Amino acid sequence: MNVDLSERIPNNVDLAGDRSLQRALERWQPGFHGWWAEMGPEGSRGYDVYLRTAVSVERDGWANFGYVRMPDYRWGIFLNPPEPGRTVGFGDHRGEPAWQEVPGEYRANLRRIIVTQADTEPASVEQQRRLGLTCPSLYDLRNLFQINCEEGRHLWAMVYLLHRYFGRDGREEAEALLERRSGDRDHPRILGAFNEQTPDWLSFFMFTFFTDRDGKFQLTALAESGFDPLARTTRFMLTEEAHHMFVGVTGVTRILQRTAEVMAREKTDDPARLRALGVIDLPTVQRYLNFHFSVTLDLFGSDLSSNAATFYTTGLKGRFDEGRIDDDHRLKDRGYPVLEAAGGKVVEREAPALNALNERLRDDYIQDTLAGVARWNRVIQKNGVDFALTLPHKGFNRRIGSFAGLCISPGGQVMGREEWDAGIPQWLPTAEDRAFVQSLMGRVVEPGRFANWIAPPERGINGQPVDFEYVRFN
């Protein structure tokens, strides 16, 4: 079933059949457009961008590719089709029919889960809003705008749930989503990593690799929800999310490719020389990685959390791949290993599995990131360069959970404050690193041309050539 894009709010939820909901969303819509004009990608108005737009939820052909004049992207509401006879897959309600309306006793928790997810969507657009001014190519500029538009659509997806299922409180939350601002001292976004800056394209690629991947894991856990509309919404969001992580993994790959080529050609690993040659030295890439990995780990929350246990027991939020896990899906008497610092060392101990669900999701996430890092290392090695990127220890640079505020090196060594402070310039991006990366950022907008510090991609978007005119300026 294709969706009529000429409707004021394109949707596959029969909005026309619920006039008061339709009117409420149409009242929210101008606020969204106002937010986009103020906080969306800077200077993009009037550009024609080769974008994909969701037009249906069919597995094949769910999206259209074509030029879209910014900011006329058709933000719509799409839910995956209902699964007949779907039941709650975990917790105390396991086996009962999935809920089509919000169970009264879980209303506050569900709203909180949806608002927290929703808040990240506009936040990342705000964080990325100036990157278009320093794009390394038209191809990259197009990908940036694609991601921004889709995060905007994810906001729509969540706002639909708030309006449709949460009455007046939901409408108020939807308003507040347009009022908070990433990094704002008085009205910040809800989660820490979404108040950090994304000031350059290395940060952007790290963000889309690490932080959009947190999105994937949160959405996958919500896709298991007993609240069926949430499960169906997040399943469709995941379809779009895959491209965001693709941009991250290939973006960093292309940076490494270019740096490794220059290292091999010049037979040097001296950061100063490499910087003088206009490429990003590998230790700097490692420091950016350390930063984005560690702030993203915090997004999963406390290692031990009674909220996480409640969300699971009440059927609101499942585990990654819940359906494929072979256990009782209730976890009452199970354990799960968690880490903590004790006696100057990181030690493992067994915690109740229900309380450790954040930690489990974090571990699943870490597993997933390892594959990307291995891919990056293959690119470095293929160029004959002897260097390997690594993920820092789970306890490194954490602000949330049992490691919060502790001094743990990337290698996992518990240390004193002084030693830690002395190590920081090797472990996290310094002001100098950031200034150097910033100095490379210039705007490249000639079709087929790429900034010096990044290799071209292997192929273009949707079968188009790499030198396709992905953005037309007017």
Residues binding Fe ion (CB under 5 A): 121, 151, 154, 212, 241, 244
Question: Which of residues 154 and 181 has its CB atom nearest to Fe ion in the complex?
Answer: 154
Question: Which of residues 228 and 241 has its CB atom nearest to Fe ion in the complex?
Answer: 241
Question: Which of residues 222 and 353 has its CB atom nearest to Fe ion in the complex?
Answer: 222
Nearest distance in Å: CB 258, Fe ion: 25
Nearest distance in Å: CB 280, Fe ion: 24
Question: Which of residues 121 and 224 has its CB atom nearest to Fe ion in the complex?
Answer: 121
Q: Which residue has the tokens 């996480």?
A: 308
Nearest distance in Å: CB 121, Fe ion: 5
Question: Which of residues 181 and 244 has its CB atom nearest to Fe ion in the complex?
Answer: 244
Question: Which of residues 204 and 396 has its CB atom nearest to Fe ion in the complex?
Answer: 204
Question: Which of residues 233 and 253 has its CB atom nearest to Fe ion in the complex?
Answer: 233
Nearest distance in Å: CB 457, Fe ion: 19
Nearest distance in Å: CB 89, Fe ion: 23
Full 3-state SS string of the chain = CCCCCCCCCCECCCHHHCHHHHHHHHHHHHHHHHHHHHHCCCCCCCCEEEEEEECCCCCCCCEEEEEEECCCCCCCECCCCCCCCCECCCCCCCCCECECCCCHHHHHHHHHHHHHHHHHHHHHHHHCCCHHHHCCCHHHHHHHHHHHHHHHHHHHHHHHHHHHHCHHHHHHHHHHHCCCCCCCCCCCCCCHHHHCCCCCHHHHHHHHHHHHHHHHHHHHHHCCCCEHHHHHHHHHHHHHHHHHHHHHHHHHHHHHHHHHHHHHHHCCCCHHHHHHCCCCCHHHHHHHHHHHHHHHHHCCCCCCCHHHHHHHHCCCCCCCCHHHCCCCCCCCCCEEEEEEEECCEEEEEEEECCCCHHHHHHHHHHHHHHHHHHHHHHHHHHCCCCCCCCCCCCCCCCCCCCCCCCCECCCCCECCHHHHHHHHHHHCCCHHHHHHHHHHCCCCCCCCCCCCCCCCCCCCHHHCCCCCCCEECC
Question: Which of residues 221 and 380 has its CB atom nearest to Fe ion in the complex?
Answer: 221
Helix axes 212-222, 357-382, angle to 10 degrees: 140
Nearest distance in Å: CB 211, Fe ion: 8
Question: Which of residues 192 and 448 has its CB atom nearest to Fe ion in the complex?
Answer: 192
Nearest distance in Å: CB 5, Fe ion: 21
Nearest distance in Å: CB 241, Fe ion: 5
Nearest distance in Å: CB 137, Fe ion: 21
